Amino acid sequence: MIRSTFYAQQAVNRRQSLVLVLAVLALLAVLGFAIGYGTSGYAEGGLVVTVGALLLGLLLTAGSYFAGDQLVLATSGAKEVDAQSAPQLMNVVQEMAIAAGTPMPKVYIIDDTAPNAFATGRDPQHASVAITTGLLQKLDREELQGVLGHELSHVRNFDIRFGLLVAVLVGSIALLADFFLRFTFWGGGRRSSRDDRGGGGLQAIIFVVAIVLAILAPIIARFVQLAVSRQREYLADASSVELTRNPAGLERALAKIAADQEVLEVANRATAHLYFTNPIKKFEERSSSMFSTHPAIVDRINRLRQLSGEAPLAEADVRALTGLD
């Protein structure tokens, strides 16, 4: 029962992630076509704009694909460790890497008492896992296995690369919309290439649609990106249970980390999506629940309880955990 249940959760999360990515891709295509047709009066113009925006986005993100992981580790103050300096941690990481069927990642420690962790790297052959000292101090071995199983699942599932694909599409939409609005504001605007042949009416309508889309599309794309991120967190939770066969350890880790009031100073909005749980607490000024990259802790725990056939969290536990993440 447990195997079929967590495999079912994985399948659902993968399908939902794919649907969301296709939605962003469709949004980019519609926006590109509307801008291209609205400004040129020709369908070919829409295709040129769409392809151009995607190529520009790919070019701008190429650097982050190859060097982004080292930048994140450096800004987080992470220091690499080995079997001599952190034997227990290396042993647990090795266990999870073997279970996941991935190469042993590089392991880093962040000197911070707030319990959390993240994985980065473009593929399993270039992966790194970073763990705070607070996580090592406050979690027992089973809980640590749950967290590291989650992070190694991100590596195995190519979530970093998947997130980069979504970021490329969302970035392309933002760049295209910003360029078009600036172009329109500074007096570019619609070209009446079809006015003499009676096509100017349709062109004008699509031009107005393009303006509306240019305003709304980046916002919609951002929300879709957040939805994709949340689905990948659910997927990593289910995959962690596949590796550890112990949903209780991961559940306890989620509850402990959510209840911990320590602030992870090195985290910011640009890196928050990488962490095991949202490192920016609700009581902080920099917090924004509308743009949270992680599902609610209560939802994640209840999904884990489904795997073992347990009842959902009691009302008192829900109240205690609500609003902490």
pLDDT at 191: 53
Average pLDDT over residues 41-63: 74
Residue 108's pLDDT band (boundaries 50, 70, 90)? very high
Read off the pLDDT of residues 182-206 as tens digits, 9 standing for 90 and up: 878 765 555 555 444 445 677 788 8
Helical ranges in 41-114 per DSSP H: 43-75, 87-100
Looking at every residue in the chain, the average pLDDT score rounds to 84
Q: What is the pLDDT of residue 57?
A: 65
List the beta strands (DSSP E) in the chain: 78-80, 106-110, 117-120, 128-132
Residue 161: pLDDT over 80: no
pLDDT at 2: 46
Domain ranges of the chain: 2-321
Number of C-beta neighbours around residue 97 at 10 A: 22
Count H helices, E strands: the chain? 10, 4
Phi, psi of 80, rounded to the nearest 5 degrees:
-70, 140
pLDDT of residue 17: 73
- Residue 151 annotated as catalytic: yes
Average of per-residue pLDDT across 66-74: 82
At residue 16, the pLDDT reads: 76
Tokens of 147: 């967290």
Question: Does residue 39 carry a pLDDT above 50?
Answer: yes
Q: What is the distance between the alpha carbons of residues 149 and 303, in angstroms, rounded to a whole number?
A: 16
Q: How far is CA 83 from CA 77, 126, 139, 232, 298, in A?
A: 20, 19, 19, 30, 35
For the cut 90, the answer to whether the pLDDT of residue 302 exceeds it is yes
**Candidate from 5-9, 271-275, 280-284, 315-319 with smallest mean pLDDT:** 5-9
Q: What is the DSSP string of 141-171?
A: HHHHHHHHHHHHHHHHTTHHHHHHHHHHHHH
The residues near 77 (Cβ < 8 Å, ≥ 6 apart) are: 110, 111, 112, 266
CA 101/CA 98 separation, integer angstroms: 5
pTM of the model: 0.80
Give the residue with greater pLDDT, 322 vs 284: 322
- Give the pLDDT of residue 248: 94
Query: What tokens appear for 178 in the block?
Result: 């910003």
pLDDT over 90 for what percent of the chain?
Answer: 37
Q: In the structure, what pLDDT confidence band is assigned to residue 121 with cuts at 50, 70 and 90? A: confident
Catalytic residue, chosen from 143, 151, 233, 242, is 151
Higher-confidence residue of 151 and 3: namely 151
134/198 Cα distance (integer angstroms): 69
Count of Cβ atoms closer than 10 Å to residue 127 Cβ: 23
The confidence score (pLDDT) of residue 18 equals: 77
State mean pLDDT over 80-109.
Answer: 96
Does the pLDDT at position 251 exceed 90? yes
The model's confidence at residue 227, banded by pLDDT at 50, 70 and 90, is confident
- CB-based contact 93:105 (threshold 8 Å): yes
pLDDT number for residue 134: 96
